[in-house]
Structures are given as C-alpha cells and as structure tokens.
Structure 1
Amino acid sequence: MQLNRFFALPLFLGALAAVAAFTSPEPASAPTSAPAATAPTAVDHSGYDRLLKKYVNEKGLVNYKGLKANQKEFNQYLQLLSKNPPAASWSKQEQMAYWINAYNAYTIRLILDHYPVQSIKDIGSKIKIPFVTTPWAAKFFTIGGAKMSLDEIEHGTLRKKYNDPRIHFALVCASISCPRLRNEAYTAEQLDRQLDDQGRDFLNNPGKNKVGKNEAQLSKYFDWYKGDWTDNGQSVASWVNKYSTTKMDPNAKVTYLDYNWNLNAQ
C-alpha cells in the first residue's frame, strides 16, 4: 500500500535525526577559565631598612657622602617603589608605611642629586621649571607611571587620605628641625609603635620643642599644620601632652621656635 506523503515525510525526518544524533561528535568541553589574577603584594622595605641602619645614626643624621658613593642598592629600592604603587587590596598600614618611606627616600634622592648642599631650600632656586618654586613641588620621580612630587605624597596622599597627624612626626625634609629620620624602615606591622615612638622622640627633644606647664615653645609644625592637630575635637595641647613627659596647660602660652633648615648631615 502506498504511504501517504504527509505521513512518510515525518518518518523520514525522524530517521535522519536519529542518525545525526548517533554520528555527531561529542560537544567540545567548555573552555577553562583563566586563573584569577594574584593581588599585588606590599613592597618589601628590608633593603631600605639595611641602608638606613648603615647610613643614618641614632640621632637621625645622614651620611650623605657615603651613600652617594654607594647608590646601587638605594636606586634598586627606588625602582621597587616606582614600579609597585599601593593597591586597594593593601591594608591601611601597608599603604601608609609605603608612602612615608617613599617620601623620606625620595627626599634623600633629591639631596644626593644636588650634594653637596647646605640646605634643601638651596635646591629650590636652582629648579628652572614654570610654576615650581620649591623642591617639594618639583615632579622629579615616578610612581606607577605617574610623575610625582614630595608635596603630592604629603598633602595629596598622606594628609588627605589617611587623616593621621602622626605622619608629621615621621616625614623628614632633610633638615635639623625636622623629626629624627629613623634608622629603620616603616613597616605595616610596626607602624603604630613607630609613629608613637617618633612622637615621644620629637616632643621630648629640647632642640625641637620646649614644653612647660604654663609656656611652650613648639615646633612650627604645630603652627603650619594647626588644622590637622585640631581635627576631630583634638587640640595642639592634647597632642603635645600625649607624648611629652612635661604636660602643658591647655591655656599655656604658645610660641614657635625658628626652623633650622640646615642639612641633617653627619
């Protein structure tokens, strides 16, 4: 009996589908995903630590002449900083330690580039760049591909982002009246202890602050950055009393010592 063409066509198509299913190759396996990118790790400051121990004494004075004659390891550390800017995955302490070390290290670099020099302020007059009037404004180094200045580290990053006035005890502008340059690198693990230690050292050094109960002659840091010390309900007196062994009255008369810009050299 002849099959009706409308009945035969579905049977034919069904047979073709069965053959195709039987002979078609296995589906290709799904491509494996690429391994997740590893988060950048914090910079190792141990090389810088060794240099500070070798070229900076317990008073924070620097052997610039000796370091200038042996710059290879120092330049390697600066390259490490330049190529590894802080990442968002770093802790606050890792980021702060990086930027404090970078400020101090690039300040040393600036001095070495112009050494011998009597003061960091002598460098400013030699910089012939439009709108740059101080060495702190000169963009003389690169971090993460961006040209930067010392001002950008201090004011644009540390003061702006982390809101911790103790950085003023740690940043050293290569001058006698600056806080002592530690002969060790700042690290995330030790940062709080190091900053508090810097505060005690700075406030109890009569060459930098003279604290009395009714009268205090303080570093100009407490005048230049007054807004930092009085933020969050604090005061200059409360910060001084946190670290000074001699406590000043909140209403004590305050004057400011002349700033000694001579180089912090051995």
Structure 2
Amino acid sequence: MKTIFNLATLLFLVCSLQSCNLLSAAGISSQGQPTKKVQSNLTSTTANSAVNIDHSQWDKLLKKHVNSDGMVDYKAFKKDEAKLDGYLKMLSEKNPTNNWSVQELLAFYINLYNAATVKLIVENYPLKSIKDIDGAWTKGRVAVGDKMLSLGGIENGILRKMNEPRIHFAINCASISCPKLLDEAYTAAKINEQLDRATNEFINSDKNDISASNPKVSSIFDWYAKDYKVNGKQDVIAFINQYSNTKINANATLSYKNYDWNLNDQ
C-alpha cells in the first residue's frame, strides 16, 4: 500500500511539473520576469531606470537586412548569424527587474522576441513558414539569465501583462500577415513614437480592409480582442478608430481576414 501511495505521489509531482512547464510554454507564466504595467499614457524616456540597454547592434542588423515593407532578407541575415548571436547573448546576460523602467522593459522584450524569431528562422532556413518548425512558440529557446523563455512566454506571459496593446504591432512572427518587422530597434528613448508608428502603419495597411459599415480586419484583433481597451473597456472598434484613416461605425460587425503564415522573406 505504501509503495502504491509513493508511486501515486511521484506521478502527481511529475504531472504537476509538466503542467507548470506547459503553462510556462503557453505563456501563462512569466517565469519570474518583471511585468511592470504601463499606468497611463506611455512617454518615451531613459530616465528613472536602473539600466539603459544598448540595442545598437540589433539596430544595425535590422537596417541592413529589413526593407521598408518589413520584409526580411533571411539568406543575408544567415551570413550575419554570429552578430545576431552576439546580440542575443548580450541580452541573455541582463537580469531584468522592476528597477528597470517600463520603457526599458518594453524595448528589451520586444527586441528579444523579434531577434529570437529571426534567429529561429535563420537556424531552419530555407523554409516556407514558421509553422513548419516544431514548437516554434512553445519550446524554451530564449535565454535570459538562468531561464529559458519561449516566444509564447515572452508574448503572453510578459508583454501582454504590461497593459500596452500596441505590442501586438511591434512583435513580428516572421509571416506575411504579421505586422511588419520595424527596420530599427526599439529603445526606451523612442518607444512611444515607435509603438504609435507600428500601430498606425499596420492598421492602415493592406492587412486590413477597413470601411465604415463592413470592416474586414486582421485576425490579430480577434485573437487578442480583450487587450484592446479604450477608457478601460474592451472596444476593438474604438481602438482601431484611434489610428484608422477610415472610421468604423460603432455598431458595425467586424469580420476577420484569413491569416497568411508564409514566410516574410524578401
């Protein structure tokens, strides 16, 4: 009986650990990473932070290999893989804490997500889609301190908890229907303007077909609907209307475009 009890206890502990790992991979857990929230309108500043991270290495790579449409020259990026690895290693040696400003944290995790996604594609290049890679978003691939974060964990466990919905237009999933990869690194000194630019460009791009009464928008507005709030209330249409050149009627019904997961390769 004691043996059966011990075996049952062991199985329970194993399942619990597996569940924790699955929760972390799915992005429910932040794995101890800081998730400081944007409390009001975000401003760009390097003040009031324990650190100011230098993202210039990533900025140079983006300017070299990403065009104005956000399309990526992965074949050329592969030749600069050592520089990409060096940037990711630099980030991995940082230890983000709540002593960092929310601006520094946003820039750090957005750049980390984008650089790690490019690294994932480069490692598996050539390929047709990021979805061809096993566990692209769920496997722990990104080192930060003694933790291995998944792409899903960075997005859902950290960035989405920071009360800044514009992050959805800043992180890039290496696909045609994704918001474009900005050809510059995000920095605390420009974070608000950069997030505004990314959001404005995406909403007014061909990724959406916006009209007053029959809007057909990106599936991103469906998948993350609860993140888009105006005056503290979920309101996807009102959020879009803050940036859209064409305003959607408040009582319109949104429909969603099919998502093109083909690689955003130049």
The TM-score with structure 1 as length reference comes to: 0.79
CA contact (8 A) 1:55 1:63 kept: yes
Q: What is aligned with 2:153? A: 152
In 1, Cα distance between equivalents of 2:212 and 2:50: 49
Shift of 1:181: 0.4
On the 8 A contact 1:45/1:185 being kept in 2, the answer is: yes
**Where do 1:97-116 residues align within 5 Å?**
97-116=107-126
Matched, 1:224 2:223: yes
Are 2:84 and 1:74 equivalent residues in the alignment? Answer: yes
What is residue 31 of structure 1 aligned with on the other side?
none
1:70 Cα deviation from its structure 2 partner: 2.1
Instruction: Summarize deviations over 1:215-249 as a string: whole Å, max 9, x none.
Output: 10000011001111147214111111111100000
User: Which of the two has higher C-alpha Rg?
Assistant: 1
How many residue pairs align between the two structures?
217
> Which of 88, 96, 104 matches 1:86?
96
Aligned residue identity for 1:114: N
How far has the Cα of 1:187 moved from its partner? 0.4
Are 2:225 and 2:234, in contact at CA under 8 Å, matched by a contact in 1? no
The reply to whether residue 172 of structure 1 matches residue 182 of structure 2 is: no
> Retained in 1: the 8 A contact 2:226–2:234?
no
Cα distance between partner residues in 2 of 1:85 and 1:51: 23
Which segment drifts farther, 149-158 or 229-238?
229-238
Equivalent position of 2:15 in the other structure = none
Once the two structures are TM-superposed, the CA of residue 75 in structure 1 deviates from its matched residue by 1.0
| Structure 2 unaligned residues grouped into runs of 5+ | 1-48
Corresponding residue for 1:197?
197
Structure 1 unaligned residues grouped into runs of 5+? 1-38, 125-133
Identity %: 46
Moved over 6 A (4+): none
Does structure 1 retain, via aligned residues, the 8 Å contact 2:50–2:101? no
What is the CA–CA distance in structure 2 between the aligned matches of 1:40 and 1:226, rounded to whole Å? Answer: 33
Does 146-155 or 84-93 show the bigger shift?
A: 84-93
* TM, length-normalised to structure 2: 0.79
Structure of greater relative contact order (alpha carbons < 8 Å, 6+ residues apart): 2
Aligned to 2:141: 140
Considering only aligned residues, what root-mean-square deviation do their CA atoms show, in Å? 1.3
